[in-house]
Structure 1
Amino acid sequence: MKMHALSGGRLKMRKSVYLPAAEKTETIELPVTCYLIRHEQGNILFDTGCHPSVAKNAEDRWGSMAKVMVPINSPQDNLITQLDSVGLKPDDIDVVINSHFHSDHCGCNEFFKRATIFCHLFELEAAQAEDGLQKGYIPKDWKHANEIKTITGQYDLLGNGKVVLLPLPGHTPGMIGAMVNLDKDGSFLLASDAVPMQANLDLELNPKNTWNPDLSLASMVEVRRIQSGGAKILFGHDDAQWQSMRKGPAFYE
């Protein structure tokens, strides 16, 4: 089994969203991280990043959210071109795991027409609710014709302990992470926005865009427990970590 780290775009936001002590005018650049897991049972994506169109006109797709979450990547920097760099096309993907349904994590879902979507039941319910759009769930990013399978607790995706989905609520109602257990490089927790940056974990800091602060802190406790067991935590938007990682055709195994 191999795991590739793939870019799903790049954003600029106010730093204080993630680190409240920062000056309100200070901005921070954030990678949008996606992961491809190649296993004999199939090709799996964890998150699909931003839709390619937002690099040219984010407001057309995201509306007012584009003023808060500003894409700064080139039009070629998206998950579809990243997959091409490792020799895969969208129809080669069997499963898409969405950590949650915010647009920088499910924006390319529409391209994976053969894939089954896995998400948490509470996340699907939040996106489907009458106020879903007001809470940041944009239908054109998450709502497609794919088969959707929901989880409510820990879920062994392949039935062999290699990819295990874990509820980590707080950022959103149905936030999930994935434990990926590799033979040579060890175990990784794909934490997504349950812990967007290392500083959030180290300082136990909830970002301002947290849905439920108490649940978020409880999820961080769980992430720390997993970390203490030897797993490496892969944060959702930590640029320093992202720059240090093997990316694209390079892989972990």
Structure 2
Amino acid sequence: MDKRLVVNKLYILPAGHGVLREFFFNTNLGADNEQMVHSPLSIYLLDTSDGLILVDSGFAEDFLNNPNYYNGTPMEGLLYLYMKEEHRIPALLGSVGYKPEDVKLVISTHFHSDHSGGHKYFLETQTPVIVQKNELTILDDETYSPAECRLKDLNYQVIDGDYQLCDNIQLIYTPGHSPGHQSLLINTKNSGYILLCVDAALTEGIFKQNVPYFAADPEQATLSLNRLKAIAAEYNPLVIFGHDEQQAKALKVYPEFY
């Protein structure tokens, strides 16, 4: 990867949505609170001077036209994921005029069901997939996410902590939501700095008001959130939250770009 790489365009590609108990976004409400909220999902495509970089790959195809996937499990009634054919990686990339084999690098923020489901399309091409070392600890955990989200044979490029991919892309280690979650600070040619919190800050309320949310390690999640706030204060970026319904309505999506 060219260290002087320029991020010409950052595309936001809507990739489906979830409907889930509001408790997951605000644990102060209590697990018995039945209020449901809409949770949009997007992935990100970076058009750079050194080729295409994909950030996450969306839903596992177990959810394709199957929002009741969790029926009969402890998650029944708590979470519904809505994926259509247009949300598969070949279709998402095709909508921008590309194919999976055109992607030079995948950055995997974590292996949850809605962020790594399309990784399988980069098996045959052996496209490098950057992942945090601690996220690999869940590859054998069948309760973590569907099997296609936890593939062992990908061309993983394993990092451990913060990593400066190039002058204009920094990977920020933000564990807590998952064991090896990572966020990104990207300096784009057209829009300046953009902070992709991904699931280290699901919503603006979590980011700005420290609303506690459901996390694998709440203490680590709080530390990671504070790091992101410090980075935001230093760089004054556009801060994009992982699943904020109101923000998603205002963000530019393909064919517009940042």
Q: Same fold (TM over 0.5)?
A: yes
**Structure 1 residues 209-228: aligned runs within 5 Å:** 210-228=215-233
Shift, 1:125, TM fit: 1.6
Question: Which runs of 5 or more structure 2 residues have no equivalent in the other structure?
Answer: 1-7
SS at match of 2:193: strand
SS in 1 for 2:131: strand
In structure 2, the partner of 1:126 is: 138
Q: Which amino acid aligns with 1:222?
A: R
SS in 1 for 2:64: helix
2:41 is the alignment partner of 1:36:
no
Residue 152 of structure 2 is aligned to residue 137 of structure 1: no
- Aligned-pair distance for 1:53? 4.7
Q: How does 1:50-199 map to 2 (within 5 A)?
A: 50-57=59-66, 64=73, 67=76, 68-113=78-123, 114=125, 115-128=127-140, 132-134=141-143, 136-157=144-165, 159=166, 161-199=167-205
SS in 2 for 1:57: coil
- Which structure shows the higher helix fraction? 1
Task: Give 1:144 deviation, angstroms.
Answer: 4.8
The answer to whether the 8 Å contact 1:119/1:148 transfers is yes
What secondary structure does 1:211 align onto? Answer: coil
SS of the equivalent of 2:246 reads: helix
Does the CA-based 8 Å contact 1:116-1:148 persist in structure 2?
Answer: yes
1:26-73 CA distances to partner (integer Å, 9 max, x unpaired)? Answer: 101111121001112121111111134513235669983773331234
Q: Report the Cα distance in structure 2 between the residues aligned to 1:227 and 1:47, rounded to whole angstroms.
A: 22
Out of 243, 252, 256, which is 1:237 matched to? 243
Structure 1 vs Structure 2 CA RMSD: 2.1
Which whole-Å CA distance do the structure 2 matches of 1:45 and 1:34 have between them?
A: 8
For residues 89 and 242 of structure 2, the distance between their equivalents in structure 1, rounded to whole angstroms, comes to 15
- Rate the CA distance shift 1:150–1:63 in 2: closer, same or farther, 3 A: farther
Alignment-mate amino acid for residue 133 of structure 1: E
Cα pair 1:120 1:150 within 8 Å, conserved: yes
1:207 deviation in Å? Answer: 1.3
Residues matched between the structures, number: 245
Give the alignment of 1:240-251 within 5 angstroms. 240-251=246-257
Structure 1 moving runs of 4+ over 6 Å:
none
The share of aligned pairs that are identical, in percent, is: 24
| Aligned-partner SS, 1:94 | strand
